[in-house]
Structure 1
Amino acid sequence: MNPKVRNLSTEVLSDNWYILRKVTFEWQKKNGEWQKQSREAYDRGNGATILLYNNTSKTVILTRQFRIPTYVNGNESGMLIEACAGLLDKDNPEDCIKRETEEETGYHINQVHKVFEAYMSPGSVTEILYFFVAEYTKDQKVTEGGGVTDEEDIDVLELDFSKAMKMAQNGEIKDGKTIMLLQYAQINQLIKYN
C-alpha cells in the first residue's frame, strides 16, 4: 500500500446501477504536509475491448449504439461508433472479449491478441480496460450480432480501415477506446497496403 495515503474511508453514495463511493483520505504532499481530500469513485467493474480487422479486405468491424451519457452531453443523436466492448463480470479479459465479440458483432473469434490495458477515466472511474485485436474472416460470422439483452440495440458496421481513420480524424468517431485501437492498428500496420 502507498505510505502517502492514510485514514482511508469509503461511503456508498449509490448502488443503483453500479457502485458510486465517496472516498475520504489523507494524502502526503511533496512538502511532507498531510492534506485531507474527498473524491467520488464510480465502480462499474473492469472491461475489455477489441478491434476486429481483415487485412485482405482492408476493413474493420465496429458497432454503433445509443449512449445516454453522450446524448446528455451534446451528442444530438446519442449514437456512438465504437469498437466492440463489454464488462468482464466474472470472466477473464480474453474470455470476456470473445463472448462480447460474438454477442455484439456475430463473429466467432478463437484467437485474440492483447495489446495493452489502460485506465480510461482515472479521475472518477475505477475501470481498467483490456485492449485486444483479432483478425476476422467472413466465414467466422455465425449470427447477425446486435447484442443479446433486450436493452442492447447494436448496429454492426464493416468499414474500410482508411475510412474509419478519417472518421476518427473528423470527429465522426469520438469514442476513446476505438480511437486508441485504430491508432494501434495504424502504427503497427495491421492493415497492410501495397
Structure 2
Amino acid sequence: MSRLEEKTINIEKIFTGKVISLQLEDVELPNGNTSKREIIKHPGAVAVLALTDDEKIVMVEQYRKALEKTIVEIPAGKLEPGEDPLECAKRELEEETGYDCKEMDWLISFYTSPGFADEIVHLYIAKGLVQKENAASLDEDEFVNLIELTLEEAEQFLKEKKIYDAKTAYAVQYLQLQKALRK
C-alpha cells in the first residue's frame, strides 16, 4: 500500500439507479485511523468535439434537470456495459446530431469529480462530418436542439454561461489552443 492509499474495510451499497450507484465505504487512512467515503460509481462517458468542414462546432442545447436550466454542450453520452469508447462516441454523435464522420480521434480522457465519483469521460474529435439519411434517434427521454457555433461564438457562450460544463469548456479551450499554436 502506498503511503497515500486508503484501504477499503467495508462497502455498503446505498442506491443503484439507471445511471449511477452510491456506496458508503469505510476506509483505513494512511495514518491507521478510519473514515467514511461516499462514492458514486458511474460507467463512464464519451464526448465528441465535432467540427464541420467550415470549422463550426456542432453542439446541442439541452435542459439539465440537476441545474434547472438549459445549457449548450458538445454531444456526449454514457457508455453501455462493455462498450468501446470509440464506438460509443460514434453512436452518440449520430444519435444526438444525425452526423457520421470520416475521421474520429481520441483527444484525452479525464475524471470529472475524483473526490467522490469514478466517472471518466473520453473526449474525441470528429471531422469530415456527413449528414446521415436514416440516423439513429435520440433516447426516448432525451430532447435537444442542434446548433453550430464558430469558435468566437462558443467563446461568447462561455462568457454568458450558456456553455457551463467542463467537457464543453475543455473542448473550446482545446480549439483556442490549436488556433494559438497555428499563429
Q: Is the structural similarity TM-score above 0.5?
A: yes
The match for 2:56 among 55, 59, 65 is 59
The match for 1:149 among 105, 129, 139 is 139
Cα 1:44–1:6 change in 2 (3 A) is closer
Structure 2 length-normalised TM:
0.88
Alignment of 1:1-194 (within 5 A): 2=2, 4-17=5-18, 18-28=20-30, 33-54=31-52, 56-71=53-68, 78-89=69-80, 90-137=82-129, 140-143=130-133, 147-189=137-179
**Equivalents in 1 of 2:56, 2:101: separation in Å?**
16
Cα 1:180–1:107 change in 2 (3 A) is same
How far off is 1:57 after superposition?
A: 2.1
Cα 1:109–1:64 change in 2 (3 A) is same
Letter in 2 for 1:22: L
Cα 1:14–1:20 change in 2 (3 A) is same
1:81-131 Cα deviation digits (max 9, x unpaired) = 111111111211101000000000110124211111100111222111111
How far off is 1:169 after superposition?
A: 2.7
* SS at structure 1 position matched to 2:90: helix
How far off is 1:189 after superposition?
A: 2.6
Cα 1:7–1:146 change in 2 (3 A) is closer
- The answer for unaligned runs of 5 or more in structure 1 is 72-77
* SS at structure 2 position matched to 1:70: coil
The answer on whether the counterparts of 1:147 and 1:154 sit within 8 Å (CA) in structure 2 is: no
Moved over 4 A (4+): 143-147
The answer on whether the counterparts of 1:105 and 1:146 sit within 8 Å (CA) in structure 2 is: no
**Equivalents in 2 of 1:160, 1:10: separation in Å?**
47
* SS at structure 1 position matched to 2:179: coil
* SS at structure 2 position matched to 1:188: helix
What percentage of aligned pairs have identical amino acids? 23
**Equivalents in 2 of 1:6, 1:158: separation in Å?**
47
**Equivalents in 2 of 1:108, 1:131: separation in Å?**
16
Pick the structure with more strand per residue: 2
Cα 1:143–1:37 change in 2 (3 A) is farther
CA RMSD of aligned residues (A): 2.4
Structure 1 length-normalised TM:
0.83
* SS at structure 2 position matched to 1:165: helix
Letter in 2 for 1:59: K
- The answer for unaligned runs of 5 or more in structure 2 is none
